[in-house]
Amino acid sequence: MDLETAKKRVEELRREIEHHNYLYYVLDAPVISDAEFDALMRELEALERRFPELVTPESPTQRVGGRPREGFATLAHLTPMLSLANAFDEDEVRDFDRRVKSALPGETVDYVVEMKIDGLAVSLVYEDGLFRRGATRGDGEVGEDITANLKTIRSIPLRLLQPAPPVLEVRGEVFMPKEAFARLNEARDAAGEPPFANPRNAAAGSVRQLDPRVTAGRKLDIFIYGVGFAEGAPVRTHSEALAWLKALGFKVNKHWRLCENIEQVLEVCRYWQEKRFDLPYAVDGLVVKVDAFAQQERLGATMKSPRWAVAYKFPPEEAVTVIEDIIVRVGRTGVLTPTAVFAPVRLAGTTVTRATLHNEDIIRERDIRVGDHVVVYKAGEIIPEVLRSLPGKRTGKELPFKMPAHCPACGARVIRLPGEVAVRCPNIACPARLRESLLHYGSRNAMDIDGLGPAIVDQLLDRGLVRDVADLYRLRVEDLVPLPRMGRKSSQNLVEAIARSKERGLERLIFALGIRHVGERAAKLLAARFGSLDRLAEATEEELTAIPDIGPKIAASIRDFFATPENRRVVDRLVAAGVNTRAAAAAAGPQTLAGKTFVLTGALERLTRDEAREIIESLGGRVTSGVSRRTDYVVVGANPGSKYDRAVELIRSGTHPDLKILREDEFMRLVGRA
Ligand code: IVH
């Protein structure tokens, strides 16, 4: 394909992808399947790889193109981003109306009422219809440049659907939908990280990630609610502006109402008081805005907030109940989560009887005891939480909570690693953890047992065929044939795949055991240092931390793992089953890269990163993650990251003139694979 043809096709693909993106993320009404969408994206990516000169910042492929940063630059807003005055009840809303009317004597005033989304305010700047930059509110005058992170939000158009003023600044609220907020906090509990208090903190924390790839994983969304700057915008009222913004391709919340007087406004407020709990995102109030821009201008603003708008805040939904019990559940990653059980109360639209207490530190901080009267609420209108206890109501019979010393599911002694809030069951054969343990054990980069997927693992567990990973090696074809959708051939295949996994070697076995904080990298180092599982099991903390890159956290975790009798039993049974627990003899081939250090950046075409790493290591070289003076080679693929910039800088500045930058073909020649 020549450049001209490619250019045309690239443009066609972008239009089509933008259109489907809009249907999916803004209108919530997709017309093609995910697979069809992926095919379009892949075609565009392939073309942009072949013709890098066609890549533009607003291409749909560039949404997660940003790189981790050191910090955020600042960006000045074109006009100040003000905040809103609050009204806490109907009377205060009527007061607002009186103030407006007395400043506009004799005039009729229309109001728009819209959702006040619980998120964080951002400003987006478009130049000639293209998204150029975005910022947080900051101090109202100057915010932080979060352009790369905002680009990961699919409902933000990178290119507008219609001609727009040459410079357009719009304002909106980035938020995390209730479900995503609940899932994120669950994941944080499971990972032993402190939960976010509300969707606003979750959204702010996500948007301020230095690595846009983390932001991209956070399921953020946006509603645009106003224009900050636009010369010659074809609108005279706020309601017209909302319609115009929508036509430009922005996601505008549909629940806004134009009201002719303050009584209508209050009716809308009353309606949403209860109805808001049915929305998939949290709203902390309603915003009432004077509709006509001419009137807004005459009303003006104070230093902090416009006189033409007010935020009607919903009263916080709280209730008082009595804690009957604190139970402890074991999650699939082994984390013990305390849960409060209390007398049923109505809260934000539902009856609740339980609330997660996250971890023992939070229970201590909030001073929550069994028998206590407590205030409960729903974080983000979705997660029941115990806010605080009411010590004044105590009788003296209340019982402080103590985390159990043993796992409620299997009885193993639990552990709390240094620097973590979570208490965990370390037993990989714990019934609560076993499903995850098995899936991890059989996964590609671990023991690579083809066919050991979630469906079959569930069957094995349901029928009691495996109680730990070592049981896998006792499975016979006859055990598997009766399982649904198995049959003789696939049963044979699975038994053979399990048998083959015995020879994966020590490195993969260590990783497969699922020792907390021991990833592939650490497993490799440990295998090389100790040579056998027995030696690793006996290693002292000093021996472990003596290995570069093995810190006290990993060392403590390894010690705890092997100090758990249940895990020692599993390991013994693996040995008895014939699993090879020794490191393979050192690679036989010529060690042409001995002592050389490599850094990989960007996407290679002929190899995955893992394959490149394997080749380098098989020749005696080392792969590290950061470019430094100790780096010998930087291998550069398509769309390289900041490592490439750093390498260029080190060479150019004379700091490291011997550093070599290799393209993929040069690398292949170096390792003899060209
Ligand atoms: S209008 C000058 N509209 O509430 C007008 N703000 O307390 C200022 N917010 O910083 C904003 N939903 O983060 C407006 N529909 C909405 C809103 C909204 C949420 C937030 C915004 C602002 C804060 C003001």
- The confidence score (pLDDT) of residue 68 equals 65
Which atom of ligand 1 is least distant from the CA of 115?
15
CA nearest neighbour of 321 among 392, 399, 386, 248: 386
SS3 per-residue string spanning 319-386: EEEEEEEEEEEECCCCEEEEEEEEEEEEECCEEEEEEECCCHHHHHHCCCEECCEEEEEEECCCEEEE
Tell me the best of 111, 117, 308 to mutate to test the pocket of ligand 1, counting ligand atoms within 8 Å of each CB and taking the most: 117
Instruction: State in Å: Cα 309 to ligand 1 middle.
Output: 9
Residue 488: partners with Cβ closer than 8 Å, 6 or more residues away: 477, 481
- The confidence score (pLDDT) of residue 192 equals 80
Per domain, the residue ranges of the chain are: 3-62, 86-313, 318-400, 404-585, 597-670
- The confidence score (pLDDT) of residue 585 equals 56
Domain 86-313 CATH class label: alpha beta
Which atom of ligand 1 is least distant from the CA of 118?
19
Q: Which amino acid is residue 178, in one-letter code?
A: K
Instruction: State in Å: Cα 388 to ligand 1 middle.
Output: 29
Tell me the best of 86, 116, 122, 201 to mutate to test the pocket of ligand 1, counting ligand atoms within 8 Å of each CB and taking the most: 116
Residue nearest to atom 11 of ligand 1 (CA): 83
Mean pLDDT of the chain: 93
Tell me the best of 77, 79, 84 to mutate to test the pocket of ligand 1, counting ligand atoms within 8 Å of each CB and taking the most: 84
Residue nearest to atom 23 of ligand 1 (CA): 83
CA nearest neighbour of 334 among 449, 455, 440: 440
Instruction: State in Å: Cα 225 to ligand 1 middle.
Output: 8
Tell me the best of 78, 169, 225 to mutate to test the pocket of ligand 1, counting ligand atoms within 8 Å of each CB and taking the most: 225
User: Which single residue is written with the structure tokens 């795949």?
Assistant: 497
Instruction: State in Å: Cα 116 to ligand 1 middle.
Output: 6
Residue nearest to atom 6 of ligand 1 (CA): 116
Residue nearest to atom 9 of ligand 1 (CA): 116
Q: Which of 7, 8, 101, 116 is catalytic?
A: 116
Which atom of ligand 1 is least distant from the CA of 82?
2
What's the half-sphere exposure (Cβ side, CA atoms, 13 Å) at 343? 9
Which atom of ligand 1 is least distant from the CA of 121?
13
- The confidence score (pLDDT) of residue 587 equals 47
Residue nearest to atom 21 of ligand 1 (CA): 121
Contact status, residue 446 vs residue 513, Cβ threshold 8 Å: no
Give the CATH H-level superfamily of domain 597-670: BRCT domain (3.40.50.10190)
C-alpha distance from residue 112 to each of 309, 429, 550 (Å): 9, 59, 59
Instruction: State in Å: Cα 121 to ligand 1 middle.
Output: 7
Instruction: State in Å: Cα 287 to ligand 1 middle.
Output: 7
CATH 3.40.50.300 fits 3-62, yes or no: no
Residue nearest to atom 16 of ligand 1 (CA): 116
Which atom of ligand 1 is least distant from the CA of 86?
7
- The confidence score (pLDDT) of residue 67 equals 66
Instruction: State in Å: Cα 119 to ligand 1 middle.
Output: 9
Residue nearest to atom 18 of ligand 1 (CA): 116
Which atom of ligand 1 is least distant from the CA of 305?
2
CATH 3.40.50.2300 fits 318-400, yes or no: no
Which atom of ligand 1 is least distant from the CA of 253?
15
User: Which single residue is written with the structure tokens 């980069």?
Assistant: 445
116 in catalytic set:
yes
Average pLDDT across each block of 10 residues of the chain; the chain has 674 residues. List them in order: 93 95 89 88 91 90 75 89 95 97 97 96 97 94 93 96 96 96 91 88 92 89 96 95 97 98 97 94 96 97 94 92 96 92 94 95 95 95 94 96 96 90 94 94 93 94 95 96 91 95 94 94 92 93 91 94 96 95 67 86 88 85 87 92 89 88 92 84
- The confidence score (pLDDT) of residue 52 equals 87
Residue 320 corresponds to which tokens in the numbers above? 């008082």
Q: Please state, in angstroms and rounded to a whole number, the distance separating the CA atoms of residues 139 and 434.
A: 50
3-class secondary structure, 220: coil
Residue 141: partners with Cβ closer than 8 Å, 6 or more residues away: 76, 77, 80
Q: Please state, in angstroms and rounded to a whole number, the distance separating the CA atoms of residues 637 and 644.
A: 10
- The confidence score (pLDDT) of residue 65 equals 63
Q: What does CATH list as the number for 404-585? A: 1.10.150.20
CA nearest neighbour of 131 among 110, 109, 111, 148: 148
Instruction: Show the ligand 1 pocket: residues with CB < 6 angstroms.
Output: 82-84, 114-117, 121, 137, 173, 225-226, 287, 306, 309, 311
Tell me the best of 81, 82, 83 to mutate to test the pocket of ligand 1, counting ligand atoms within 8 Å of each CB and taking the most: 83
Instruction: State in Å: Cα 183 to ligand 1 middle.
Output: 26
